[in-house]
Structure 1
Amino acid sequence: MIIDTLLILSAYLLGSISSAIIVCTLMGLPDPRTQGSNNPGATNVLRIGGKKAAAITLLGDMLKGLLPVLAAHLLTDSPLTFALTAMAAFLGHLYPIFFGFQGGKGVATALGTQFGLAWQIGGSVALIWLFMAKIMKISSLAALVSMALAPVIVWWFWPAPELISMQVMMSLLLFWRHRSNIQNMLVGSEEPISKEQGPKT
């Protein structure tokens, strides 16, 4: 129980470290909370800082989800602990204690937790995202489609009720965080990926 509690708490604290804010600060870029979409995530960093900054941010956000779940694998075999650890890292990104509980939308961190559960789960979600992004050219739409299918993917590869429930909750929260993007898509004003290029770096 103590190990489980420490895993979950550590996952939340690690998730609360904002890769976007740290990357932008170190690279001399504007605060992503005050520029572009005002979202501290990789897509907004792409807009304001370019591909290199966005790639580093994406990697950092994925690792925040991946590492705690991998640690859980080393210390326990409980699906409930895996589920709570993954959710804690995700919630840390959404509501970071270090940044006034104002975080990002959670796509990369969610994907990191999925790779941590099983590479087949993370790989399947990533492939769906890449396919949708290639076809539809809209990052948020690709994220929403891939995360909508994520509970089915978890069920297919690891049908533990705790993990399926966690993924359903994670997907619902992710949709809630993307509500402005959904509104933009409904009126046709959501920017395609081709326009999210930022300055040259």
Structure 2
Amino acid sequence: MAPVKTVCVYCGSGFGGNPAFRDAAEQLGTALARAGIGLVYGGGDVGLMGTVARAVMQGGGHVTGIIPDFLQAREHMLEDIQETIVVGDMHTRKRLMFERSDAFVALPGGIGTLEELVEQLTWAQLGRHRKPIVLVSVDDFWSPLLTLFAHMRQQGFIREGLDLSYLVAQDADAVVPMLQRTGRGEDPEAERFVEERL
């Protein structure tokens, strides 16, 4: 697998109720910039998405924001990033985010974050891509979703041969090392979340 040069980060347009979420966004952005990995994200200046983008910029990293025109006012488009792409709809946004990214990282977020994450998991399950997907489960944020995945497996809806492929990081500092090992083709099984272990 080729080295990871760009990462799409999915996360909330709010901060959530836990200060650790904002800290994780800052840590992730700083780590991406330090590693020379570019950020691809939703283009907004609000919540966790604005936090991670500003942290990348402050670290000297490259940021690409992709935002639908109808969200420019609501999400207060971040003006001073290196590249902003305004598109006509959410489908185009998600397609471009996919095309411009070598990996995907999900920080805490709401239904939009969940929808984008699950789409990438689905595409990977169907063999449409092999890009790494990392869930950053700050304070066990993603644990209910992981429990649901285990339930789906137990009920026969995630069948053998159609396993979900993702990694779970308990904190943001673990993300870049995971991606670097994956990019070198090293076996990430030590970090890979296996539903049967729940």
TM-score, length basis structure 2: 0.28
**TM-score of the superposed pair, with normalisation by structure 1:** 0.28
Higher strand share: 2
